[in-house]
Amino acid sequence: MGVAKVIGLETEYGVSGGTGDPIMSSSQLVTAYGHLGSYINWNFDDEHPGADARDARRFTSVAPLIETHIANTVLTNGARFYVDHAHPEYSGPEVRRASDAVLFDLAGDEVLRRAVTSVANGFGSQEPLIIHKNNSDGKGNSYGSHENYLVSRDVPFDDLISAMVPHFVSRSIFVGTGKVGAETESGQRREEWFHVSQRAEFFEEVVGLETTLKRPIINTRDEPHSDGDSYRRFHVITGDAQLSQVGIFLKVGTTAILLAALEEFGPRAFPASPDNPVAAMRTVGLDSTLASNFRLTDDRIMTALDLQRELLGVGKRYIDSCGGDLVGGDEEAHLIIAEWTAVLDDLASDRAAAATRVEWLAKLQLLEAYRDRHDLPATDPRLAAISLQWHDLRPDRCLQNRVGMRELWSRADIDTAVVQAPRDTRAFFRGEVIRKFGDSIAAANWDSVVFDLHDGVLRRVPMMEPLRGTSDLTSNLIDRCATPEDLLRELGV
Amino acid sequence: MAEQERIHKTRQQETVDAQEAVRVDASRHDQLKNDLDELLDEIDEVLEDNAEEFVRNYVQKGGQ
């Protein structure tokens, strides 16, 4: 039995400027933004079983914070905004549709822009902070953009591996954001001056638990953040952080449909994996001609486009027989299939059309035109500068927003999503109680909210079911409760 | 050459159609090229003055 594909996206942003210390800069961003509203701490209970929620403390001042994981807050849109490693990270709220995943990912970009402004207001004397939504610095350091999908616990993990490896190897052709120059030893052995994917060359294993070293195509982290007997949270670390709205929609929509198809049909409905998945993924990631092929374990030879066409066939068959209930409804499902079909057709025969959605291709067209105009060699540093500035989140600096890529959401939609949680998952309850009772909330995380009524006792409201806590189920309750005491009494906590 | 031969072999009306299509294609191509030229002018202005130095100094710590 399949389960609704509850989805969440995480982005680690590149940060520069400020004091020059990225951990300090990230902490400034999170604390300054957090203090625009109620600063709600993250509750680590489910991540460190020994931790006690009573240890959670509210921040009372904007102190320089050095330790990783100290600056950590929860927003009224249900997202988490915090410092991870040496980057500011926004983890969007749980959503049920790929199109909503796009919206709340874009809201994260806006949160970062507003955080930069808050820091500038509070720390005016330092250099301004600059944020890039990208995945590598061009010098061999990579940081992630991760996807999470709710999957039935009934699916054996080995089936996830065999079914999903072909997708993660080949989807870079519409997920990649493109970059100039190789950064790893294996990439540098090749001739290509332009890579389709920022992330692909950093992958070294097929399966593993790591996310920062020896990165695996299939990540085995098992933190369900929900009822672990029913669900698995499938954690995907292979993707590029996209600015292209249709690009994000395709990344998430295709993956969600294939996971639902796996739950329904099992792994035998899927094409075979490449016999060397890591090598195939790297090859796809650096080949802007899309002509490279690789051998599958069933001895067929395929390009990434060939493999994607077979996966599209699996997705279509699933939607035809089961409808779109698990991926956000029939309309959403048909839109995903239509966009998926169109992008594969255009990548094969009309690259100019594909460039209105596929970010690496739009970037490549710009770089090629710039090279032609100034007759530049591929090594000219201005090309790397364009490639980096493409991802700059400052609207007057960003290059991606100037090339006419198709959009799905308006400025007003995004502004609303910065403060308003999605209505159809538990993110609604989290966001709304933070909005209404923020001063009485000691901490929150994905599967609970901890209230502090200042009477010496912390009260935890568990939210183990991602599809409860929706607007339908809780908005009347929250509306009629004037105080947090009323709310907890009604909830029986 | 193959394209020219094909056009010569078609009936007159088809030749006119094909030529029209080529003209339309050419003008669309010119328009796209003009747009791109304007865009490239803008990018020259938008690109950081110290862009090359910025790229050199852009070093991030590895993350997830």
Percent helix, strand, coil in chain A, to 5, is 45, 15, 40
Looking at chain A, the whole-number percentage of residues with pLDDT higher than 90 is 86
Q: What value, to the nearest 5°, has the Cα angle with vertex A454 and ends A453 and A456?
A: 105
pLDDT at A469: 96
Where do the CATH 3.30.590 domains begin and end in chain A? 7-414
Would the CB atoms of B60 and A14 count as touching at under 8 Å? yes
Name which residue leads in pLDDT, A317 or A63.
A317
Contact A7, A252 (CB under 8 A): yes
Q: Report the gap between the CA of B35 and the closest CA in chain A (Å).
A: 10
**Can you tell me the distance from the alpha carbon of A86 to that of A21, in angstroms, rounded to the nearest whole number?**
9
**Can you tell me the distance from the alpha carbon of A160 to that of A157, in angstroms, rounded to the nearest whole number?**
5
Q: Is A291 helix (H, G, I), strand (E, B) or coil?
A: coil
Say whether pLDDT at B19 is over 70. Answer: no
Would the CB atoms of A143 and B58 count as touching at under 8 Å? no
Q: Which residue has the tokens 């990208």?
A: A134
Q: What value, to the nearest 5°, has the Cα angle with vertex A92 and ends A87 and A93?
A: 150
The per-residue pLDDT for range A426-473, each reduced to its tens digit, is 999 999 999 999 999 999 999 999 999 999 999 999 999 999 999 999
Give catalytic status of residue A84 as yes or no.
yes
Band of pLDDT at residue A67, cut at 50, 70 and 90 = very low
Band of pLDDT at residue A46, cut at 50, 70 and 90 = low
**Can you tell me the distance from the alpha carbon of A477 to that of A493, in angstroms, rounded to the nearest whole number?**
14
Nearest to A247 by CA among A133, A371, A165: A133
Query: Which residues on chain A are in Cβ contact (under 8 Å) with B40?
Result: 366, 369-370, 373
| Range with the largest mean pLDDT of A39-48, A241-250, B17-26 | A241-250
pLDDT at B26: 52
pLDDT at A139: 95
- Count of CB atoms within 10 A of residue A397's CB? 16
Q: Which of A84, A287, A306, A447 is catalytic?
A: A84
Nearest to A237 by CA among A164, A321, A152: A164
Band of pLDDT at residue A59, cut at 50, 70 and 90 = very low
pLDDT at B21: 47
The per-residue pLDDT for range A339-358, each reduced to its tens digit, is 999 999 999 999 999 999 99
Say whether pLDDT at A21 is over 60. Answer: yes
Say whether pLDDT at A94 is over 50. Answer: yes
Report residue A340 as tokens.
Answer: 């998926």
| Average pLDDT estimate for A326-335 | 98
The per-residue pLDDT for range A144-172, each reduced to its tens digit, is 999 999 999 999 999 999 999 999 999 99
User: Who contacts A457 (Cβ-Cβ below 8 Å, separation ≥6)?
Assistant: none
Report residue A483 as tokens.
Answer: 């105080």
Nearest to A88 by CA among A180, A137, A15: A15
As a whole number, the mean pLDDT across chain A is: 92
Instruction: Find the chain A residues whose C-beta atoms sit closer than 8 A to any C-beta of B.
Output: 12, 14-16, 22, 84-87, 132, 136-139, 141-144, 146, 211-212, 237, 352, 366, 369-370, 373, 381-382, 384-386, 388-389, 396-397, 399, 402-403
- Name the pTM for this structure: 0.90
| DSSP letter (8 states) at residue A149 | E
Please identify, in words, the CATH class of the domain defined by A7-414.
alpha beta
B48 touches chain A (CB under 8 A): yes
